[in-house]
Structure 1
Amino acid sequence: MPTDLLFYAAAVPAVILVGLSKGGLGGAFALMGVPIMALVMPPVQAAAIMLPIMIVMDMFSLWVWRKHWDPATLWVMLPGAVIGVGIGWLTASMVSAGLIRLVVGIIAILFVCRFAYDRYRTHKGNLAPPQPQNRVKGTFWATISGFTSFVTHAGGPPFQVYTLPLRLDPKTYTGTSTRYFAIVNAIKLVPYFALGQFDASNLKTSALLLPLAPLATLSGAWVIKRMHPEIFYPLMYLMITVTSIKLVADGINALMG
């Protein structure tokens, strides 16, 4: 179990950022968690330590957003997410995490560019009308989300590619996202154990960092519950942009390293 100050100097901010994201403040914060911890330890170990903490955060998020969610979106996306996690499990030893980060980052950047183009095309800055549920698109993006969540903890951008155009109420969107990733993270526990990514040392380290989880998660939820849609959606797209840049940079660095 890590005991040096350098480890905790990286781990504490990482857990806080992930908790703020779990509270509803966008996927960019969550994406930074494992890379920050990976500065002082192997990335696989960092992901293994973070997953139990994320599950505890999910529990608090589920309670905070228990009245806000969209069953139709979950019904469309969860089967694909399960498939994606299964693919990630089966190909865990063959797939390059760097390549996956690069591909997901490029997809998310193209998605943001489309959003910017739609805004420009209206000439008035109006948001595009809400899109209807589409099982084919939902299953496709959820499969990618489940896969990238398993491989790199980066399931947020593919999830957002499908869900943001639905234009759900911010609270409904956040509650739906919370339930979706709580279920995905719980499913990931089984293959993570099977692949030997949990051991006593990592679990003890997770337990030491757990007290930070509820504080950060509830803080993120407090902010989102007071945010208007006119601010929420531009912020989400900004978060996707930051996330995408980070993913592309990490992917290129990994492939060139």
Structure 2
Amino acid sequence: MELTFATIVVAFAGVFLISFMRGAFGGGFAIIGIPLLSIVMDPVTAGGLLAPLFVAMDLYALRYWKPSTWSRPDLMLLVPGLVIGIGIGYLVFRVLDHRAVAILMAGVTLAFVGLWFFKGAEVTRQPRSRPKAIAAGFTSGITTMVAHSGGPPLAMYLLPLGLSKEIYAGTTSLFFTVGNATKLMPWLLLSQPAAKTWGLIGICLLSIPIGVWSGWRLHGALDQRKIYRACYGLLVLTAVKLLWGGVSGYMA
């Protein structure tokens, strides 16, 4: 990777966008910003660049998503599967076809959103389910490690619970704080960032405070229904990105 002016601008914009999503929705939509990074670097380099930046975003976001916004019962069910899933995802990354994983996750996500739309596109309040939570945490761990796309499995579990917008975002934020800290070393082992990459990481750190703050302000301006509809809309964008990445990978 050449550390050109274009590389710096594109990477800075991508990290800002991901930070904005962290502030507005608690996280889980990092893949929305990855297409920008893919303009100037390959996916593995982008993964190594983002791994430490995710941790920095998480730590900064904790000043907004405080313990009062965490759903502890759900986190207790979700986090163990997340950690195990990241370990499995590390092995999947090395031995299995990432494109097939991306296409499968895209199909499941689009089906989930389609079912929600078919039912009236309203905020629901379903009971908590231990098996669903464990499955969601585990699947999110695999997909966040393989494709930085752990958001859809988590959202498919949390959104139907009808949590308040603050609890939804805070729970999502802490979930990915644990996940990103867990996958930091595996990603650094996979990508082994060069000195230029670390320099770019230092520059991109400057975009995090304003990005998280801007997203948090948007979160405060939107009501519960708008937040949930935005989350479902972002799930569609995430699924389309996963589907395109998987299919185009086979066509290349």
Shift in CA distance, 57/239, structure 1 to aligned 2, threshold 3 Å: same
* TM-superposed deviation, 1:33: 2.1
Report the equivalent of 2:12: 12
Bigger CA drift: 56-65 or 88-97? 88-97
* TM-superposed deviation, 1:196: 4.9
Q: Does 1:169 align with 2:164?
A: yes
Any gaps of 5 or more consecutive residues in structure 1? 120-124
CA contact (8 A) 1:20 1:217 kept: yes
1:197 aligned partner, one-letter code: Q
* TM-superposed deviation, 1:27: 6.0
CA contact (8 A) 1:83 1:146 kept: yes
Q: 2:151, 2:90 → 1: CA distance?
A: 18
Q: 1:198, 1:147 → 2: CA distance?
A: 22
Q: 1:97, 1:22 → 2: CA distance?
A: 25
CA contact (8 A) 1:26 1:236 kept: no
CA contact (8 A) 2:19 2:211 kept: yes
Q: Does 1:76 align with 2:71?
A: no
* TM-superposed deviation, 1:233: 1.1
Report the equivalent of 2:136: 141
Per-residue Cα deviation, 1:127-179 (whole angstroms, up to 9, x for no partner):
43x11111111111111100010011010011101110011000010000000
1:60 aligned partner, one-letter code: Y
Shift in CA distance, 156/87, structure 1 to aligned 2, threshold 3 Å: same
Report the equivalent of 2:126: 131
CA contact (8 A) 2:8 2:200 kept: no
CA contact (8 A) 2:82 2:138 kept: yes
2:50 aligned partner, one-letter code: M
* TM-superposed deviation, 1:28: 8.0
1:1-257 map, 5 Å: 2-25=2-25, 30-66=30-66, 67-119=68-120, 126-128=122-124, 130-257=125-252
* TM-score normalized with structure 1 length: 0.91
* TM-superposed deviation, 1:54: 1.5
CA contact (8 A) 1:44 1:197 kept: no
The count of residues paired between Structure 1 and Structure 2 equals 251
SS at match of 2:221: coil
* TM-superposed deviation, 1:97: 2.2
Q: 1:127, 1:187 → 2: CA distance?
A: 32
CA contact (8 A) 2:26 2:170 kept: no
2:156 aligned partner, one-letter code: V
CA contact (8 A) 1:23 1:218 kept: yes
* TM-superposed deviation, 1:63: 1.5
Percent identity reads 30
2:9 aligned partner, one-letter code: A
Bigger CA drift: 219-228 or 180-189? 219-228
2:11 aligned partner, one-letter code: A
Q: 2:208, 2:65 → 1: CA distance?
A: 16
Segments of 4+ moved more than 6 angstroms: none
Any gaps of 5 or more consecutive residues in structure 2? none
Per-residue Cα deviation, 1:52-93 (whole angstroms, up to 9, x for no partner):
111111111111111311101101100110111010122321
Q: 2:128, 2:77 → 1: CA distance?
A: 8
